[in-house]
Amino acid sequence: MTFARLDHALQTGALDLSDQVRVICLEPNPDADPSVLPTRNITVQQNFKPAHDHFAALGLDVTTEATGPADVVHVTLPRSRELGRGLIEQAEWLAQGGIVIVDGSKTDGIDAMLKFVRTRTSIGAQVSKAHGKLFSFKAGSAFADCVLPQPAPIADGWFTQPGVFSADGPDAGSQALVTALPKSLRGRGADLGGGWGYLTRHLLDLPGVTHVDFVEADKRALDCAALNITDDRVALHWADATTWGTAGSLDWVVMNPPFHTSRTPDASLGQAFIRSAARLLRPKGTLVMVANRHLPYETTLATGFGHVQELEGDSRFKILQADQPRTSDATARKKRR
């Protein structure tokens, strides 16, 4: 996760890179340390906004769509097999006769990807470390048919693509939330972490909704949402939902917050979304959210809101409504002084 395998390969001589090469890193994890590379001529392609901003803050050249040529292209393997193969094809095209490095954990399928790549080309360096593997090959045209996934229609006409959350269709949590949406939601609101747009499309059916700020950190999901949502009442934002927006500006927030960025659940992500919702809401604003039953959000909700109730739920999910945001109350009191 931290370029440990790349660092190991360079330190042991399994990979030998000069300090003059141009390196492109495709979709590295936020905790990756580019300083292990011998060169400072580094471009990072990153479509996840918090990671994009992190690498930009380090002073690196960051983009959502890298351009070649490059001497070396490093691919951080994602969980999606189709996206992983597409990134390898992109890396091969960018390297144009240079070196492609594929780096990933066992849980993200690096063993299967190594087996696949080996059926098409010769493997150069190969190292195992930190519950994963890194391997390299010389870029040619062996993967020209493995193009990067693009938004495409699935059942019911929704546009999604491999690599985004719930790419095969609406997830059960969002479906549960849609059935429980209060008809009383009115005015301006936001869908935080909106994915490819399922919730927002249904929010627009509520008669009192006048505007939806759609906030999504994954640019690929946002591109799908742009195809799924064409209503003029919606503004699309490629942004980190935990820091986006103006305090005390919204009448309501609806969300199905993420609870992991890897395979390990992390309740702090959803808790950060809850704090952001409290910050964004006006004094009489409302938050409606869905969460897996086991996730410990109640304390964070009680801290950020004066009133919390469960609207609906079952053994898998809980639909929660929170009113009287404390952050907005404090802001309003300061303005009145």
Backbone torsions φ then ψ of 307, nearest 5 degrees: -145, 130
CATH label of the domain that carries residue 134: 3.40.50.150
| Pair (82, 175) in one structural domain | no
- 151 DSSP 8-state letter: -
Could you tell me if residue 143 is inside a domain? no
Q: Please state, in angstroms and rounded to a whole number, the distance separating the CA atoms of residues 278 and 181.
A: 18
Between the two ends of the chain, the Cα-to-Cα distance in Å is: 49
Is position 157 within any domain? yes
Which among 114, 138, 162 is the end of a domain?
A: 138
Is the domain of 115 the same as that of 174?
no
Does the pLDDT at position 260 exceed 90? no
Is residue 131 located within the same domain as residue 167?
A: no
* 162 and 28 in a common domain: no
Percentage of the residues of the chain whose pLDDT score is greater than 70:
95
Residue 85 and residue 39 in one domain: yes
* The one-letter amino acid at 90: Q
Task: Tell me: pLDDT of 160 over 50.
Answer: yes
Whether residues 112 and 158 fall in one domain: no
pLDDT for the residue 81: 98
What is the distance, to the nearest Å, from the Cα of residue 232 to the centroid of all Cα atoms in its chain? 25
Residue 314: per-residue pLDDT: 85
For residues 140-146, average pLDDT: 97
Over 70: is that where the pLDDT of 98 sits? yes
Do residues 77 and 192 share a domain?
A: no
Q: End of a domain among 80, 115, 138? A: 138
The answer to whether the predicted template modeling score (pTM) of the entire model surpasses 0.85 is: yes
Q: Does residue 208 belong to any structural domain of this protein?
A: yes
For residue 26, what pLDDT band results from cuts at 50, 70 and 90?
very high
**Between 332 and 238, whose confidence is greater?**
238
Could you tell me the residue range of the domain that residue 327 belongs to?
152-336
Average pLDDT over the chain, rounded to an integer: 95
Which among 111, 138, 165 is the end of a domain?
A: 138
Q: Which tokens hold the place of 157?
A: 């006409």
Q: pLDDT tier at 336 (50, 70, 90 boundaries)? A: very low
Asked whether residue 15 is domain-assigned, the answer is yes
Looking at the structure, do residues 191 and 107 belong to the same domain, yes or no? no
248 and 323 in a single domain? The answer is yes
pLDDT at 208 over 50: yes
Query: Taking residues 207-218, what's their average pLDDT?
Result: 99
Q: What is the largest CA-CA distance in the chain?
A: 71
Q: Do residue 48 and residue 165 come from a single domain?
A: no
Q: State the pLDDT at residue 331.
A: 46
**Domains in the chain, number:** 2
pLDDT at 313: 80
Instruction: Confirm whether 177 is domain-assigned.
Output: yes
The answer to the question of residue 26 being in a domain is: yes
Q: Are residues 77 and 201 in the same domain?
A: no
- Provide the pLDDT for residue 332: 46
Residue 32, Cβ density class (10 Å: 0-12 exposed, 13-18 middle, ≥19 buried): buried
| Residue 100 CA: distances (Å) to CA of 19, 125, 178, 322, 329 | 17, 10, 44, 49, 54
Query: Domain for residue 144, yes or no?
Result: no
pLDDT of the residue at 131: 95
Whether residue 245 lies inside any domain: the answer is yes
Say whether both 114 and 165 belong to one domain: no
Task: Tell me what pLDDT residue 263 has.
Answer: 60
